[in-house]
Amino acid sequence: MPLLLGFLISVMPAPAMAQACELEWIILGAGQDAGAPQIGHPDDPAWEDPELRLYATSAALVDHRTGERHLFEATPFITDQLALLDKLAPSGSSGLGLSGIFLTHAHMGHYGGLMFLGFEAADADAIPVYAMPRMHDYLSNNGPWDQLIRFDNIRMRPIESQAPVGLSDRLQVTAHLVPHRDEYSETVAFLVESSGASLLFLPDLDSYEDWETDLGVRIEDLIARVDHAFVDATFFDDQELPGRDMSAIPHPRVATSMDRFDVLPAAERAKIVFIHFNHTNPLRFPDSPQSREVLERGYGIARRGDRFCLDRS
């Protein structure tokens, strides 16, 4: 996308965005699973300033031509996130206006919001949930999730790694296995491809090196394929959790990721958008020195409400 057009789209109000862009990706949250402020942290400034609240990472893929809205991740913040989605890209259909939900894995911030689709809350009507085999079995055979299936609040749609799921004649989503803690399910990234643009959604993985060694996937090759790459930024560096052995919490550190990606051309670096911030990560604050450094080095930082055009009318 030309830089000027990208800037114009980013500042358009919601109705103008819908007119200029048939297909868009909307950030509904950029935090780690528990968001912020977190339980047990009374000094977090977000208690006093709601604008600093951090919802767990989630995004919506909205097709304005068909009216379909697909959610990526069902977080514990889904109530607020769907309210935001309704404000930015209202649905003309009844109910929750969701055409489907894609899940990356079974850690609490990525699927726990399914509970709000149940009988006690929305009592949703047969929302398709796209999940890998182990994730499918986990939801199908464990309560309270299996009740969602028995009550037809959700309908499981099994997917396989590297097998595209067609959402329309111009849009498909493909799962790619990534190395991560897989206690209850696999973990995947999603490649979203349209007739106009494409993106990589990679909120969680252990390391880029393990991905290449274990699964033969080089992150730079995927970045080269897409227009936007939303990548794991759980921790900025190894100084965030005093008293904890951070080597036991494998995620690519933002500082290390930038050192790796700095060799890329500016146009490739501009595709990379950091997402999935722990409450300790200073990137959650737009005015932090670390946020300024990331932007100065040519990268992006996901913020709630950000919109990315994937196809223009």
pLDDT 10s per residue in the chain (313 long)? 333 333 333 434 444 454 578 999 999 999 999 999 999 999 999 999 999 999 999 999 999 999 999 999 999 999 999 999 999 999 878 789 999 999 999 999 999 999 999 999 999 999 999 999 999 999 999 999 999 999 999 999 999 999 999 999 889 999 999 998 888 899 999 999 998 899 999 999 989 999 999 999 999 999 999 999 999 999 998 877 777 766 777 889 999 999 999 999 999 999 999 999 999 999 999 999 999 999 999 999 999 999 999 985 4
| Cβ contact 59:276 at 8 Å | no
Residue 252, helix vs strand vs coil: coil
| Partners of 200 in beta bridges | 191, 229
Domain boundaries, given as residue ranges, for the chain? 3-312
User: Which pLDDT does position 244 carry in this prediction?
Assistant: 72
Q: Which of 257, 269, 186, 195 is nearest to 229 (CA)?
A: 269
User: Which pLDDT does position 246 carry in this prediction?
Assistant: 65
CATH, range 3-312? 3.60.15.10
Strands, DSSP E only, in the chain? Answer: 21-29, 58-63, 68-72, 100-102, 127-131, 154-158, 165-168, 171-177, 188-194, 198-202, 228-232, 272-275, 300-301, 307-312
Cα gap 192→19, rounded to integer Å: 21
259: which 2 tokens? 């050192």
User: Which pLDDT does position 14 carry in this prediction?
Assistant: 47
User: Which pLDDT does position 312 carry in this prediction?
Assistant: 55
Q: Is the dihedral of CA 108, 210, 227, 259 positive or negative?
A: positive
User: Which pLDDT does position 13 carry in this prediction?
Assistant: 46
Nearest 5°: the CA angle 14, 16, 17 is 65
